[in-house]
Amino acid sequence: MEWIFPIIKRKLSDELHSHLTIVYSNHTEADIWYKQELEGLQKRFNQQLQVTFFVENTTNPHFTQGEITQTYLEALINQNIKPHLIFGICADEAVSDFVRDRLLFLGIPSRDIHQTNIPQ
């Protein structure tokens, strides 16, 4: 997340017509990097940025409990009205591969899926 955060900020500031959706998944709330910064950007760019946090172990109503599922990805793709979607995945290898495989299954071309694996 460290390397992509400045890119996100620049895209939101420079491309006022752009829309970004960030789906962030982690084991606990404490494991979320840049949580306050992302929430601040979401408030500042509320028409351009949507952030959804998936946390495996939480009772916090501001987070979605559990893991990213194919059903969630289908809904995310179906609710998006943009003619062209590009996906960036930054996660540990298992999660990254799961999300990439589900996106491919759902018909997203591999050229539109960018994957970076982070160490656990």
Where along the chain do its domains lie? 5-117
Asked if the 5-117 domain carries CATH number 3.40.50.80, the reply is: yes
- Asked if 114 and 87 touch (Cβ cutoff 8 Å), the reply is yes
Give the Cα separation of 109 and 64 in Å (integer).
27
Q: What is the pLDDT of residues 81-94, one digit of tens each?
A: 777 788 888 778 88
What pLDDT is stored for residue 42 in this prediction? 92
* SS3 at position 120: coil
* Cβ partners under 8 Å of residue 76, min gap 6: 21, 23
> 1-53 pLDDT, tens per residue?
677 778 888 888 998 888 888 888 888 888 888 889 989 999 999 989 888 88
Instruction: Please report which confidence band the pLDDT of residue 116 belongs to, taking 50, 70 and 90 as the band edges.
Output: confident
For the chain, give the longest Cα–Cα distance.
37
Per-residue pLDDT at 110 exceeds 70 = yes
pTM: 0.80
Beta-sheet strand order (sheet of 49-55): 20-26, 49-55, 64-65
Which one-letter DSSP state was computed for residue 119? -
